[in-house]
Amino acid sequence: MEHKRVRQGFVYGLAGLFTATFVALNLAGIITLLVFFFSPFAFAGGGIAQNEQANAKCLSCHSQPGFNVVKGSATIDLYVDKTQYQASIHGTRACTSCHSDLGGVPHTNPVYGQELAQQVNQQCVACHTDEGKAYLSSIHGEQLIAGKEGAACSDCHGKHNIQKSSDPAATTYRLTISNICMNCHQGKVAQSYNYSFHGTAIKLGYTKSATCADCHGTHAILPPENPNSSVSKQNEPQTCAQCHLQAQPNFAQGNEHAVPQDQQNDFPLWIVWKIFLGLIVFDILKDGSIAVFELIRRLINTRRNTPKS
Amino acid sequence: MAQQTTTKTAPMPNFIERFDKHQRYQHILLIVSIFFLCLTGFPIKYADAAWARAIVAMFQGFDHMFTVHLVSAVCMILSGIYHIVWIVLHFKNHGPKWAMLPSFKDFKDAWHHGLYLIGVRKARPQYDRYTYLEKFEYFAVIYGILLMGLSGFVLWFPDVAAWIMPRWVIDMFRIAHSNEALVCLFALIIGHFFWVHFNPDAFPTSSVWYNGKISKQHLQEEHPLEYARLAELYGETGDNGDNLHAEQVKPPKGRLFMLVELLIYVAFVIVLLATFIPALLA
């Protein structure tokens, strides 16, 4: 009897030890993971609280609506929407993590506009290395480096309002990203996209429809003349096949950016459009005049048949 | 026209069956499908308009609206298949009937009708079972279903279509689909609706589409040749107006009604022409 109880106690003790070890190991694992997960945030900007403190100094001037500077003939708006910034994906970071050149107050030799965008771009690609690499090899990045009016990160992603592209508030959200492209790419290319079924469906809130970025790419955009481009004639069928199950060579036989109004370049569409407009006008003239004259005849006939009293 | 087998001794009924059950079902299927096709298709053509967004919102999003469009399209094609099957079976059981086929008389009728409308001729053309306008409309519907169905399938499955046609032909089908929709819409609301709804004799609606019957009076007025043939079959004289039961028939609308309708039609036609003629000539 005594012997049995000792043995039972031993078994229970062993089980307890195992359980305790298991729980302890798991806890340690979770804590380690948490530390690793948050450490980049904790170390990168010197702590969220510290950043907020530092930013408060910047925002004491820059969060005042109408805050600006006059450079020659241009008035440059320096206002930053504090709530919007703090709600943005970078909202807990220090202002100086992007505006690295602006140490003291007043700022020494601050840059504006395209020059500023170029400078901030360097900070973007420092953290977002993969995107940065793709961007720098793209036509946008190439042109920006060459000092031309190439699109900087901020032209698409916004400045103090950056959100993840999955967030409907993001400038790069599916339903609005094409509007960003059309800020620069205007004329027929924009007109035809808005006219296309892709653009129409996007306008009406269909998130599965193709945006500019779905065909042209995002960071690694190349012009169609470049054989590596997703929209080069060679790659076009494959690009269409991202959504349209089969990669048909015929997909490349025509202009994506076509409008029926362009008689010169899109004659097949133009002629179909005109033929059907002709049919529409014929329709209105035929049915409209028959109805109108029938009514006139009936009015005349009733007058004739009504006895005068 | 099944009633033609009735024996001579029976009197001619006041209401005569013009379309049988299956024809009415085909037509109702067509009405419902085309109503929803227009409701869910025009917001895509006019996506920038506020009403387009309102309709999308009504369907709780583009996905649902577009699904309704595709389902309605299948229903429209089914109505066409139903019609073909009905023709085949009807021909088999009752013998072929060719009343719908165009003839030289239709061209004469059209000319005659034109002269009547501008007041040169005093009497309407003597129509048989189908007027030249009804025949035109029938073949316009066939053409419409074929074109909208074919172009619709090309747009629905562009990757399959690309097996046999280049991209720019697919784009041509899109222009055709989008604009033929307007041809259909105007043919319906200006042409068809005038004869079966807004026509003062029919307002608010002709009964043929729901019970298949036409009154003896209307038959004599609108299809005198068919009426004469039927009357002869029943042993009545073809032009005897005394036999008509006028009290069974809705009285035609008054002059004020016609005047208001005339003004609406004139305004509508002017607005449409002012919209589409500049686009055609541009």
CB-based burial, A161-174: b 16+ in 10 Å, e otherwise: bbbebeeeebbbbb
Top-confidence residue, A246 or A244: A244
Q: What is the mean pLDDT of chain A?
A: 87
Q: Give the model's pLDDT for residue B248.
A: 46
Range among B74-78, B202-206, B235-239 rated most confident: B74-78
Say how far apart CA A52 and CA B201 lie, in whole Å: 79
Say how far apart CA B145 and CA B76 lie, in whole Å: 7
Q: For residue A177, count other CB atoms closer than 10 A to its CB.
A: 20
Residue A293, chain B, CB below 8 Å: the answer is yes
Q: Give the model's pLDDT for residue A309.
A: 46
Q: And the tokens for A9?
A: 């106690």
Q: Give the model's pLDDT for residue B204.
A: 84
- Rg of the Cα atoms in chain A: 33
Q: Based on the fold, state whether residues B261 and B230 are members of the same structural domain.
A: no
Cβ A221 vs Cβ A156: under 8 Å = no
- Minimal CA separation from B10 to chain A, in Å: 34
Task: Identify the CATH number of the domain in which residue B206 sits.
Answer: 1.20.950.20
Q: Based on the fold, state whether residues B270 and B228 are members of the same structural domain.
A: no
DSSP track, A30-93: HHHHHHHHHHHHHHHTS-HHHHHHHHHHHHHHHTSTT-EEEETTEEEE----HHHHHHSTTTTS
Report B:11-40 residues touching A (Cβ under 8 A): none
Q: Give the model's pLDDT for residue B37.
A: 97
Instruction: Please name the residue ranges forming H helices in chain B.
Output: 21-45, 50-58, 62-94, 104-117, 132-156, 158-161, 167-186, 193, 208-211, 216-222, 224-233, 255-281
Burial label, A264 (beta-carbon count in 10 A; 0-12, 13-18, 19+) = exposed
Range of the domain at B269: 253-282
Q: Which residues of B touch A299 (CB under 8 A)?
A: 255, 258-259, 262
Closest residue on chain B to A262 (Cα): B282
Cβ A243 vs Cβ A214: under 8 Å = yes
Q: Give the model's pLDDT for residue B17.
A: 86
Q: Based on the fold, state whether residues B184 and B274 are members of the same structural domain.
A: no
Q: Which of A193, A203, A204, A253 to mutate to test the interface with B (most CBs of B within 10 A)?
A: A204
Percentage, residues of chain A above pLDDT 90: 49
Q: Is the dihedral of CA A152, A158, A163, A168 positive or negative?
A: negative
Residue B58, chain A, CB below 8 Å: the answer is no
A307 band by pLDDT with thresholds 50, 70 and 90: low
CB–CB contact A284 B159 (8 Å): no
CB–CB contact A204 B52 (8 Å): yes
* Overall average pLDDT of the B140-164 stretch: 95
Q: Give the model's pLDDT for residue B2.
A: 47
Q: Give the model's pLDDT for residue B1.
A: 45
* Overall average pLDDT of the A247-263 stretch: 88
Range among A113-117, A302-306, B68-72 rated most confident: B68-72
Q: Is the dihedral of CA B198, B204, B208, B214 positive or negative?
A: negative
- In the predicted model, is pLDDT for residue B48 greater than 90? yes
CB–CB contact A288 B167 (8 Å): no
- Minimal CA separation from A271 to chain B, in Å: 9
CA atoms within 13 A on the CB side of B193: 13
- Rg of the Cα atoms in chain B: 22
Q: Give the model's pLDDT for residue A34.
A: 81
Q: Based on the fold, state whether residues B234 and B258 are members of the same structural domain.
A: no
Q: Is B165 helix (H, G, I), strand (E, B) or coil?
A: coil
CB–CB contact A295 B186 (8 Å): no
- In the predicted model, is pLDDT for residue B4 greater than 70? no
Q: Based on the fold, state whether residues B210 and B263 are members of the same structural domain.
A: no
Q: Based on the fold, state whether residues B146 and B273 are members of the same structural domain.
A: no
How many structural domains is chain B composed of?
Answer: 2
- The domain ranges of chain A are 188-257, 260-293
Q: And the tokens for B170?
A: 């697919």
* Overall average pLDDT of the A255-259 stretch: 90
Q: Give the model's pLDDT for residue B263.
A: 94
Q: Which residues of A touch B65 (CB under 8 A)?
A: 204
- In the predicted model, is pLDDT for residue B247 greater than 50? no
CB–CB contact B273 A260 (8 Å): no
**Which of A235, A216, A141, A150 has its CA nearest to residue A177?**
A216
- In the predicted model, is pLDDT for residue A191 greater than 50? yes
* Overall average pLDDT of the B16-45 stretch: 94
* Overall average pLDDT of the A145-169 stretch: 89
Residue B5 per-residue DSSP state: G
Helix (H) or strand (E) holding A12: helix A2-44
Residue B248 per-residue DSSP state: G
Q: Is A211 helix (H, G, I), strand (E, B) or coil?
A: coil
Residue B174, chain A, CB below 8 Å: the answer is yes
Q: Based on the fold, state whether residues B235 and B274 are members of the same structural domain.
A: no
Q: Give the model's pLDDT for residue B252.
A: 62
Range among A40-44, A64-68, A273-277 rated most confident: A273-277
ipTM for this prediction: 0.89
Residue B119, chain A, CB below 8 Å: the answer is yes
Q: Which of A244, A274, A298 sits opposite B159 (nearest CB)?
A: A244
Helices B132-156 + B167-186 axis angle, to 10: 140
Q: Give the model's pLDDT for residue A286.
A: 94
Q: Give the model's pLDDT for residue A1.
A: 60
Strands (E), chain A: 68-71, 74-77
* Overall average pLDDT of the A78-98 stretch: 89
Say how far apart CA A210 and CA A194 lie, in whole Å: 11
Q: Which residues of A touch B174 (CB under 8 A)?
A: 197
Residue B46, chain A, CB below 8 Å: the answer is no
- In the predicted model, is pLDDT for residue A106 greater than 90? no
Residue A253, chain B, CB below 8 Å: the answer is yes
Residue B268, chain A, CB below 8 Å: the answer is yes
Range among A92-106, B4-18, B169-183 rated most confident: B169-183
Peptide bond before residue B278 is cis, with ω within 30 degrees of 0 = no
Q: For residue A153, count other CB atoms closer than 10 A to its CB.
A: 26
Which residue type is seen at A295?
L
Q: Based on the fold, state whether residues B27 and B17 are members of the same structural domain.
A: yes
Q: Based on the fold, state whether residues B25 and B44 are members of the same structural domain.
A: yes
Q: And the tokens for A134?
A: 């793709």
Q: Based on the fold, state whether residues B274 and B145 are members of the same structural domain.
A: no
Q: Give the model's pLDDT for residue A114.
A: 82
Report A:191-210 residues touching B (Cβ under 8 A): 197, 200-201, 203-206, 208
Q: Give the model's pLDDT for residue A39.
A: 63
Q: What share of chain A is helix, strand, coil (3-state, %, to 5)?
A: 60, 5, 40
Q: Based on the fold, state whether residues B131 and B260 are members of the same structural domain.
A: no
Report B:231-250 residues touching A (Cβ under 8 A): none
Residue B200, chain A, CB below 8 Å: the answer is yes
Q: Based on the fold, state whether residues B36 and B141 are members of the same structural domain.
A: yes
Distance between alpha carbon B100 and the CA centroid of its chain, in Å?
A: 13
* Overall average pLDDT of the B267-278 stretch: 94
- Minimal CA separation from B25 to chain A, in Å: 26
